[in-house]
Structure 1
């Protein structure tokens, strides 16, 4: 179980007149995410979704607040203990190509977390990488390629394989289908839905698209200006959203909104 307590992140930025101002990117959020459960987090660009994701993944440090994994407060850990505990949180970024080292083959990119955290002999490592490629639908022949030789959808599959390689307890997908064409997007969403059932992990999918959120999970969080303004546990349609901000997001959808089939 992941428990977020009074999590707060401030940035100091310059306004248009070059004056320094303090911005609350994440504003004292408290939240509990259950084990082996999928969640979707919706909000407009700038709502604080990605900042929250980076804090959960250990990329950003909170200004204040706590993140608990089971009975351990990550803020109290240091050194190797912190590094190993943070490995239980994996982040799949929007831009897959930038997340993969352009100089390394796909095989080595997927193998990197295993080599750092769970070293194995060469035959067992090869077997594990082949198993992961099969699980995410990535042709084995592509493992020897460099990232730029793969399509956007194939790069995304490689990033997902890398994220699940060490069987983390928590996986965050940050706008992970943005920029993909409709057919490939549907394939990646179906892959995530299947993995959510197969992997013993908590999934948090961050998106600005309510249709995507509803397709992936009935547990939906709505974020505005750094705060969670609505939380649904059994969402099935637009009608389940009650907060005015949620309704505004729905009203702003195209008239012929693309429901995912």
Structure 2
């Protein structure tokens, strides 16, 4: 479904030097699957998410979606691709336009990225907001009138409204209290079963990563240093860095 080949990302910094954030990453994300990506801050997780959603382009390497390489696609082709690849960010309040009501926030994505007719739009959006377990009256509220948990659900509704094949959740439940976080995670799992999307769940919290998936990627210094599939216990992690990361969170 999504295949990344020899992906590297460099940024130019002062004195004409470069900072290499990602280094020759290769991976294939399968259809209808959930992956979790863990690693310390600065390991390259968020940079990878921006490349996968094509917010930024890789310095080297190729990204394939449904066997189509992204580099060189026309603007029209990229727009169609964006309906298949969505992202839900950590800070929901900054991701939502404070000048728009929730209805218009979701409608904007639908109008730009789908072929849903205007006559069907209202019913579709009402159904979508119900799927994320929010009352329909929320549609006529501004983001600042909602709680943090409600804002997060609006972001999820907006992403899911275009029926994407692949969704990146970048620290998407960070900052929520334990009870709200658990409810949001369960909502995401239910939606994944319904839509059969592929998730990449980026988090620094190992327990959250394991709750979401048994397929765990570990990133360090711009490299995926370990991939554990069908995780059953912490003992399945073999790399020394992974063990240190786990120990630091459990102690």
Deviation at 1:102, TM superposition (A): 0.4
Aligned residue among 101, 119, 132 for 1:136: 132
In 2: Cα distance, 1:122 partner to 1:169 partner: 23
What residue in structure 1 maps to residue 3 of structure 2?
A: 3
For the residue of structure 2 that corresponds to 1:168, the secondary structure is: coil
Please tell me whether residue 47 in structure 1 is matched to residue 43 in structure 2: yes
Matched-pair contact (CA < 8 Å) for 1:214–1:236: no
For the residue of structure 1 that corresponds to 2:202, the secondary structure is: strand
Deviation at 1:13, TM superposition (A): 2.1
What residue in structure 1 maps to residue 98 of structure 2?
A: 102
In 2: Cα distance, 1:75 partner to 1:216 partner: 31
Please tell me whether residue 242 in structure 1 is matched to residue 238 in structure 2: yes
Matched-pair contact (CA < 8 Å) for 2:79–2:113: no
Deviation at 1:199, TM superposition (A): 0.9
Which moved further from structure 2: 114-123 or 231-240? 114-123
Deviation at 1:180, TM superposition (A): 0.5
Q: Which runs of 5+ in 2 are unaligned?
A: none
In 2: Cα distance, 1:20 partner to 1:76 partner: 27
Please tell me whether residue 153 in structure 1 is matched to residue 159 in structure 2: no
What residue in structure 1 maps to residue 63 of structure 2?
A: 67
Q: RMSD of the alignment, in Å? A: 1.2
Matched-pair contact (CA < 8 Å) for 1:170–1:201: yes
In 2: Cα distance, 1:2 partner to 1:119 partner: 23
Matched-pair contact (CA < 8 Å) for 2:7–2:23: yes
In 1: Cα distance, 2:50 partner to 2:221 partner: 16
What residue in structure 2 maps to residue 117 of structure 1?
A: 113
What's the CA shift string for 1:81-134, capped at 9, x where partnerless? 122113211000000011100000011111111111224444410111011111
What's the CA shift string for 1:129-153, capped at 9, x where partnerless? 0111111111111110000100011
What residue in structure 2 maps to residue 127 of structure 1?
A: 123
In 1: Cα distance, 2:27 partner to 2:145 partner: 40
Please tell me whether residue 172 in structure 1 is matched to residue 168 in structure 2: yes
In 1: Cα distance, 2:55 partner to 2:223 partner: 20
Query: Which aligned runs of 4 or more in structure 1 are off by greater than 6 angstroms?
Result: none
For the residue of structure 1 that corresponds to 2:232, the secondary structure is: coil
Deviation at 1:20, TM superposition (A): 4.5
In 2: Cα distance, 1:51 partner to 1:183 partner: 29
For the residue of structure 1 that corresponds to 2:154, the secondary structure is: helix
Alignment size in residue pairs: 251
What's the CA shift string for 1:218-256, capped at 9, x where partnerless? 11100001000000111122111110110011111143x
For the residue of structure 1 that corresponds to 2:25, the secondary structure is: strand
Deviation at 1:22, TM superposition (A): 1.3
What residue in structure 2 maps to residue 208 of structure 1?
A: 204
Deviation at 1:49, TM superposition (A): 0.4
In 2: Cα distance, 1:139 partner to 1:169 partner: 26
